Amino acid sequence: MDVFAGFHGRVLAAVQQLKHDGVVPHEASLDGITLEPPKDAFHGDLATNAAMVLAKAAGVPPRQLAERIVPLLASDPHIDKVEIAGPGFINLSLAPAFWPSVLRMVLEQGDAYGRSAFGEGEAVNVEYVSANPTGPMHVGHCRGAVFGDALANLLAFVGYAVTREYYVNDAGAQVDALARSVFLRYREALGEDIGEIPEGLYPGDYLKPVGETLAANHGRALLDAPESEWLPITRSAALKAMLVMIEDDLDQLGIHLDVFFSERALIDGAHDEVAETIAELKAKGLIYQGRLPPPKGKIDEEWEDREQLLFRSTEFGDDQDRPLVKPDGGYTYFASDIAYHRDKFRRGFRSMIDVWGADHSGHIKRMQAALAALTEGKAHLDIKICQLVRLFRAGEPVKMSKRAGTFVTLRELVDEVGAGPVRFMMLYRKNDAPLDFDFTKVTEQSRDNPVFYVQYAHARASSVLRQVGETFPDLGTESTELIRADLDRLNDPAEIAVIRRLAQFPRVVEAAAQTHEPHRISFYLFDLAADFHGLWNRGKDLPQLRFIYEDDRELTRARVALVAATRRVLALGLGILGVHALHELH
């Protein structure tokens, strides 16, 4: 919970009092009233805009209204000073005793600190990765995978019931191409010279073992069989192998999904869910046979004007109606994607999040249109777009070409720099902004490598907790013991700065969860690390400011409490990002 929530209540109570006194009209809305730590500590510990928000309704200038609010707040024993500033802000300075109470709360709550019931146990489906199951994962998939996973962690942290889901696109032409590629490898395994892999098929060596397994299991039986017979067999073998490989790749990054949802199962199951979905939309009058205008601004020679089965997505804000059936009679990707989201809805999810690559951003409107149509607005779908990742090595761009086989796989990336740095860097940028990833930089031990900087703070904190026993052997470092320390003795500005930062953690977490922006956690951790390093550095110049101060056992204990709390919050934040906190660096 937010450590400042109580003060927000005080402000609202003060305003209620003013309503009661007739200063503020009863119907005035209190929604816009905030109470937040100001950016600049010069403005106190907390600031509220209450007077400015209510001034108009009350017909009184903001500062004058603030004069009425101030005495109502000043009586609070935890509030030291109340000042009116600027256009009508009310700035609160908290009693010195407040900060130790925050620290005590962190220690008491332990791993529960920052968690909340915000999500109220609501079921949320987070769909991410969803790479084509046709080969190993490469860096292009990596960002979305990490982002989705961290977002799922974050939502779980604030009390949502999260399902992590991977949509397996195993129904399209791509997987048939995969199956044919595997069939070649099967013939190869039986001793045939297959020559060059033809254009349009998958040339990668990773399919060889799949061919070999087929050869071992089926012998030469498939060689003379018609395609209609061997294709399903090779396809299912290939898909199985690819999913094992993908799951293994994801495992390298610490990603474990709850559900792998097969696109094919939508059609091949007991009933054709796509047909059902289309029928449902048809019943709503949203399906028709029609023609689409050719794309403007570019001349497409291949364009042919023809009638197709269309969904009226324009009625829900899309730019164009969208086709559901291909010329060959099969469903379009969009059609099965609608059925897939309908399936999620029928499984009970009213809240869904999809993580997509930037190249799919043009599909957002149609998907939301379809879901709105099917669920009559009862479901909420947020689609998060992850921008490209550009790879660098010591500042130089890494050239990648899929055709030349020089694209970097996720596995290579993780093998070289480690899962933690990969995850942290992927989250050290807003999801919809492009990201530069430098192999050299993420392993550098310097301040401009945020991964190192945050881990180093955690390692330093761990080191203090390890070493304090050498000076004070009987000084326990468990929370239950540290909580009894005389925390009022922490009054150095750098110490207070760290506590203030710790106090912000719950609201940062909540804001990140609400906006679906895990990067806010990364930036918070960097700031917390900076505060902690700042405190550490003061001890370099002034030995009496060191955490372990041999002349004063009780002061040491109070400081160790601060260190333990900082370490806890660093670990919690890293945990949300899915990064393992390090106890020492090498």
Partner RNA sequence: GACCUCGUAGCUCAGUUGGAUAGAGCACCAGAUUCCUAAUCUGGGGGUCGCAGGUUCGAAUCCUGCCGGGGUCACCA
Judged by CB under 7 A, which of 219, 537, 550, 552 binds RNA? 537
Instruction: Work out how close the CB of 216 gets to RNA at its nearest, in angstroms, rounded to a whole number.
Output: 29
Q: Round to whole Å and give the CA distance between 446 and 49.
A: 40
Angle of CA points 25, 78, 507, to nearest 5°: 75
Q: Which stretch binds RNA (CB under 7 A): 65-73, 143-151, 299-307, 416-424?
A: 299-307
First-to-last C-alpha distance (Å) of the chain: 36
361 binds RNA (CB under 7 A): yes
41 binds RNA (CB under 7 A): no
Helix axes 493-515, 553-577, angle to 10 degrees: 20
Closer to RNA at the Cβ: 399 or 586?
A: 586
Closer to RNA at the Cβ: 444 or 488?
A: 444
DSSP E strands, 67-179: 79-85, 89-94, 123-127, 161-168
500 binds RNA (CB under 7 A): no
Judged by CB under 7 A, which of 27, 29, 42, 77 binds RNA? 42
> Per CB under 7 A, which of residues 218..257 are in contact with RNA?
none
Judged by CB under 7 A, which of 224, 304, 376, 551 binds RNA? 304
Q: Which structure tokens are listed for 72?
A: 């109502």
- Name the amino acid, one letter, at 329: G
> Per CB under 7 A, which of residues 53..82 are in contact with RNA?
53, 55-56, 62
Cα 201 to the center of its chain, rounded Å: 34
28 binds RNA (CB under 7 A): no
Q: Which stretch binds RNA (CB under 7 A): 10-18, 209-217, 455-463, 572-580?
A: 455-463
570 binds RNA (CB under 7 A): no
Instruction: Work out how close the CB of 584 gets to RNA at its nearest, in angstroms, rounded to a whole number.
Output: 7
Q: Round to whole Å and give the CA distance between 120 and 160.
A: 6
Closer to RNA at the Cβ: 24 or 545?
A: 545
Closer to RNA at the Cβ: 117 or 376?
A: 117
Task: Of 123, 119, 171, 122, give the one whose Cα is nearest residue 347.
Answer: 123
Q: Round to whole Å and give the CA distance between 67 and 82.
A: 10
Judged by CB under 7 A, which of 110, 434, 469, 493 binds RNA? 434
Judged by CB under 7 A, which of 77, 200, 226, 297 binds RNA? 297
Q: Helix (H, G, I), strand (E, B), or coil: what is residue 490?
A: coil
Q: Which stretch binds RNA (CB under 7 A): 28-36, 63-71, 419-427, 565-573?
A: 28-36
376 binds RNA (CB under 7 A): no
Q: Round to whole Å and give the CA distance between 352 and 155.
A: 12
Q: Which stretch binds RNA (CB under 7 A): 15-23, 212-220, 326-334, 483-491?
A: 326-334
Helix axes 519-541, 450-471, angle to 10 degrees: 50
435 binds RNA (CB under 7 A): yes
523 binds RNA (CB under 7 A): yes
Instruction: Work out how close the CB of 46 gets to RNA at its nearest, in angstroms, rounded to a whole number.
Output: 8
| Exposed/middle/buried for residue 452 (C-beta within 10 Å: 0-12, 13-18, 19+) | buried
Task: Of 491, 502, 490, give the one whose Cα is nearest residue 105.
Answer: 502
Interface with RNA (CB under 7 A), residue total 100
Instruction: Work out how close the CB of 231 gets to RNA at its nearest, in angstroms, rounded to a whole number.
Output: 14
Q: Which DSSP letter does residue 201 get?
A: S
Binding mask 340-359 for RNA (x = CB under 7 A): ------------------xx
Judged by CB under 7 A, which of 4, 7, 89, 202 binds RNA? 89
Q: Which DSSP letter does residue 35 get?
A: E
Residues 6+ apart with CB under 8 A from 354: 127, 128, 367, 381, 382, 383, 384
Closer to RNA at the Cβ: 153 or 462?
A: 462
Instruction: Work out how close the CB of 190 gets to RNA at its nearest, in angstroms, rounded to a whole number.
Output: 28
395 binds RNA (CB under 7 A): no
From the CA atom positions of the chain, what is the Rg in Å?
A: 30
DSSP E strands, 156-217: 161-168
Judged by CB under 7 A, which of 269, 279, 303, 402 binds RNA? 303
> Per CB under 7 A, which of residues 147..186 are in contact with RNA?
169, 171-174
